[in-house]
Amino acid sequence: MNNSFNSKMVSKIIGTPLRVIDYWDRTNFIKPSINEASGYGSMRLYSFTDLIQFKVAKFLRDQGLSLQKIRKSLNYLRRHLPEIEKPLAKLRFLTDGETIFVLTNKDREIIDTLKKGQYVFAIAIGELINDLKGKTSKMTMDRAYMVNVSKRRFEVILHPDLEDGGYWVECPELPGCSSQGDSVEEALDMIKDAIKGHLEVQEELKKEAAQKRRAA
């Protein structure tokens, strides 16, 4: 299983539009755990735990709960269960389309995070995780290539996009440096450009740091 998933992969695995993924990131609802988009040649990279959060959030939305209600419940849970960093991925939820209930490990205690209602739907976390594993396993056929950029050699990992075609590619030596293309050749050309841009940014940061040291 891949350790990271870009926004396009998340969109296809979960069935959530890219604009929603972008909005949820910008509004701090579900942010990428591995890498946040931070300029040229970088992209959001999500973990498998992030995928679980997306899946649970989508389930709750599909049952008719508004994003505002889900946020309110999460805020309540983070205040009262601070040891659980990501409630959407760690807890089990029940909902009637109006209220969110949480089934904890404390004697199977149910916490009502909104108002009283009648239980109708439950999220089967185990089935959800198995479903995600099945979908993400299709994306494990990775290939390593070596590319030359600025007189240096870099290993890049090519990930096939089996559902929509094309590839996305990353450079492990430069965290967050990734790109994509419709063909192997295009993907490799694009990652070379991304690496070049990444190196240029690093060089500029080094120059700025050196100038600050001299000025100090």
CATH number at residue 75: 1.10.1660.10
22 lies in the same domain as 119: yes
Q: Choose the final residue of a domain: 73, 106, 136.
A: 136
Flag whether pLDDT at 178 surpasses 80: yes
Same domain, 13 and 118: yes
Q: Give me the percent of the chain exceeding a pLDDT of 90.
A: 33
Q: Compute the average pLDDT of residues 165-192.
A: 89
3-state secondary structure the chain: CCCCEEHHHHHHHHCCCHHHHHHHHHCCCCCCCCECCCCCCECCEECHHHHHHHHHHHHHHHCCCCHHHHHHHHHHHHHHCCCCCCHHHHCEEEECCCCEEEECCCCCCEEECCCCCCCCEECCHHHHHHHHHHHHHCCCCCEEEEEEECCEEEEEEEEECCCCCCEEEECCCCCCEEEEECCHHHHHHHHHHHHHHHHHHHHHHHHHHHHHHHHC
Q: Does residue 130 register a pLDDT over 70?
A: yes
Residue 1 scores a pLDDT above 50: no
Residue with more model confidence, 116 or 157: 157
Question: Which residue, 136, 155, 172, sits at the end of a domain?
Answer: 136
Does pLDDT of 159 surpass 70?
A: yes
- pLDDT, position 165: 58
Task: State the total domains in the chain.
Answer: 2
10 plus 101 within the same structural domain: yes
**Same domain assignment for residues 99 and 197:** no
Check residue 70 and give its pLDDT.
92
Say which residue, 117 or 10, is predicted with more confidence: 10
Half-sphere CA count of 156, side-chain side, radius 13 A: 31
User: Do 30 and 67 belong to one domain?
Assistant: yes
Supply the range of the domain harboring residue 115.
Answer: 5-136
What are 101's two structure tokens?
A: 């209930």
For residues 166 and 86, membership in a common domain is answered with no
How many residues are there in the chain?
Answer: 216
Claim to verify: residue 86 and residue 103 sit in the same structural domain = yes
Residue 173, pLDDT score = 94
For position 140, what pLDDT does the model report? 54
Q: Provide the pLDDT for residue 115.
A: 66
Predicted pLDDT at 177: 93
Clarify whether residues 205 and 117 are in a common domain.
no
pLDDT classification of 145: cutoffs 50, 70, 90: very high
Residues 177 and 127 reside in one and the same domain: no
End residue of a domain, out of 95, 111, 136: 136
Which of 30-39, 150-159, 176-185, 193-202 shows the lowest per-residue confidence on average (mean pLDDT)? Answer: 30-39
Our CA angle for 51, 131, 166, nearest 5°, is 65
Task: Using the predicted structure, report yes or no on whether residue 76 has a pLDDT greater than 60.
Answer: yes
For residue 197, the domain's CATH number is: 3.30.160
Average pLDDT estimate for 196-211: 90
Instruction: Answer whether residue 106 shows pLDDT above 80.
Output: no
Q: Based on the domain organization, do 131 and 145 belong to the same domain? A: no
Q: Does 163 share its domain with 80?
A: no
Of residues 14 and 110, the one with the higher pLDDT is: 14
Query: If pLDDT is split at 50, 70 and 90, which confidence band does 108 have?
Result: low
- Whether residue 115 sits in one domain with residue 40: yes
Average pLDDT of the chain? Answer: 85
